[in-house]
A and B are shown apart, each in its own frame.
Chain A
Amino acid sequence: MTTELRGKSAIVGTGHAGLGEAHGLTAYDVMAQSALAALGDAGLKLSDVDGLFCTMMEDSMPALMAAEYLGIQPRFIDGTMSGGSSFVNYLTSATMALDAGLCDVALIVYGSNQRTASGRLVTASRPPAYEAPYNPRYPISAYAMAAARHMHEYGTTREQLADVAVAARAWAQRNPEAFERGPLTREDVLGSRMVGDPLTVRDCCLVTDGGGAIVMVRADRARDFPKAPAYVLGSAAASSHRQISQMKDFTVTAARDSGARAFAAAGVTPADIQAVELYDAFTINTILFLEDLGFCAKGEGGAFVEGGRIAPGGVLPVNTNGGGLSCVHPGMYGIFTVIEAARQIRGDAPGIQLKDIDLALAHGNGGVLSSQVTAILGSQNTL
């Protein structure tokens, strides 16, 4: 997104459904309940939606399945699938479509029942041909190899990785809707079952059900809705590879590019951001993205997160809902980074509301550190 699109669109509704376990519901049921929740939040109806932005873990045409299920015939559809980053990416395409008049009410939506359906990751994607024979466990083997390389090059420790999980849990304990709210110490993380060295099961995101939805309109209407809007000030994407064996530098993600572009579009810097919502599929993600987005220097992410510095009461609020590690992770978490950033700006985060948030960042990750999308949201005060 360029500066010309800064503040041209706004989030006027968010919603979610089925967080944790959605017994007896299909992924599309959860998707639809999420859509209704977000539209209800905005005071709109499904029949108002004329732009649909959706992908799912199942099916090759999920946006069409969703439109059919919802009983709508949108004028504009974007079903771009870049993994969990897709939903942050839709902020760009929705802003463009709204600004161009291709639609008036954009609905971004996702749903999954992966926990109650199977208890593991359900995906329509196939293992890459040149990697499959070696049986990497997707996606953890990829992230484990990134973590190993980061530890090798920068001396990042397992204790520092563990502190990311501990901070996420501390936020989750304040969030009545988070799935995992029990106590968690650094020792608990280090002592839990190793899954893919150096990552234990507590370095990994949850496997839950859940869906989320976001309603967007053009900025000129943004103040006509029940709650305060969250404006999209900048959003940008970058991708570096699809297969982990093709990642050029295992310690640097394309978030360096997506972040720089999003900050430039928004005209703000990392120091201005008051709440940071990152796609934390694994503890290493948080460290990589804090570095690549410019919150600390490359290699200093481990020290940056150590000892509660990103936990409640720390120096920077990161993943204030508990993140994918402790709040919710239904196959793809990306939409929840935007929902949480928007809720903080809109003063709509019961239990976890921070004071006077005007600028928040949402960052989506897709594939195996493959696709990175950064968005910066702001309150009315930032226009």
Chain B
Amino acid sequence: MQDAKGPDQLFQRALAEGEILLPKCDDCGAYHFFPRVLCPHCHGTAISWKQAGGKGRVHTTTVVRRKPERGGDYNVCVVELDEGVRMMSRVEGIAPGEVVIDMPVTAFVGEAEGVPAVLFKPSEG
């Protein structure tokens, strides 16, 4: 990944180093996610990478019901970051059913399915 060039590679490389980078359009100033070679808002191609602030809110959420012997229930949600972008993720550190819409959450880099991934925990205070 030393010679990462494409937007997906750049995002994943940063993630592997514990950093969450978000693509931001130089032309219209809007963030987008997932990473891509153009801005989906204005279709400009000048994209910069910005460190994510890490604050967001749960936009919507569900509990995937799974048998205990297979690992039990878990959370799947969509989080809206303060930058205005949304991503699928899960909230850790509380029971999956305790995750509610509009709950403030903070991002961290963890692991999902054996790969580095953006996860969330409830924001303090």
Residues on A lying within 8 angstroms of B by beta carbon are: 129-137, 141, 144-146, 148-149, 152, 193-198, 243-246, 250
Contact = CB atoms under 8 A, between A and B. Distances in A.
B77 A130 contact: no
A194 B86 CA distance: 26
A137 B60 contact: no
Interface stretch (B17-25, B48-56, B62-70): B62-70
B3 interface: no
Top 9 A-B pairs, shortest CB-CB distance = A133-B112, A144-B62, A245-B88, A145-B60, A197-B63, A149-B60, A131-B88, A133-B113, A130-B34
Contacts of A193: 65
Contact of A135 (B33, B63, B74, B102): B74
Given A130-B87, A245-B78, A149 B101 contact: yes
Nearest to A199: B62
B22 to A, nearest CB: 13
Contact of A245 (B86, B112, B117): B86
A145 to B, nearest CB: 4
Interface of B: 8, 33-34, 59-65, 74, 76-78, 86-90, 97, 101-102, 112-113, 115, 117
Nearest to A246: B86
B113 A196 contact: no
Contacts of B97: 197
Given A135-B74, A148-B101, A245-B88, A141 B62 contact: yes
Q: Which of A129, A135, A137 neighbours the largest number of chain B CB atoms within 10 Å of its CB? A: A135
Contact of B90 (A134, A145, A148, A194): A134
Given A131-B88, A136-B88, A152 B101 contact: yes
Given A135-B113, A245-B86, A145 B77 contact: yes
B113 A141 contact: no
Given A148-B61, A196-B65, A134 B89 contact: yes
13 contacts: A130-B88, A133-B112, A133-B117, A134-B117, A141-B62, A144-B62, A148-B101, A193-B65, A194-B63, A197-B65, A243-B88, A244-B78, A244-B88
Contacts of B113: 132-133, 135
Contact of A136 (B33, B76, B87, B117): B76
Contacts of A149: 59-60, 101
Contacts of B77: 145
Contacts of B117: 133-134
A120 to B, nearest CB: 15
Contacts of B101: 148-149, 152
B32 to A, nearest CB: 10
B63 A134 contact: no
Contacts of B61: 145, 148
Contacts of B59: 149, 250
Contacts of B89: 134
Nearest to B77: A145
A248 B14 CA distance: 27
Contacts of A135: 64, 74, 76, 112-113
A287 to B, nearest CB: 16
Given A141-B62, A149-B60, 20 more contacts: A130-B33, A132-B113, A134-B76, A134-B112, A135-B64, A136-B64, A136-B76, A137-B76, A145-B61, A145-B76, A146-B60, A148-B61, A148-B62, A149-B101, A152-B60, A152-B101, A196-B64, A198-B62, A245-B86, A246-B86
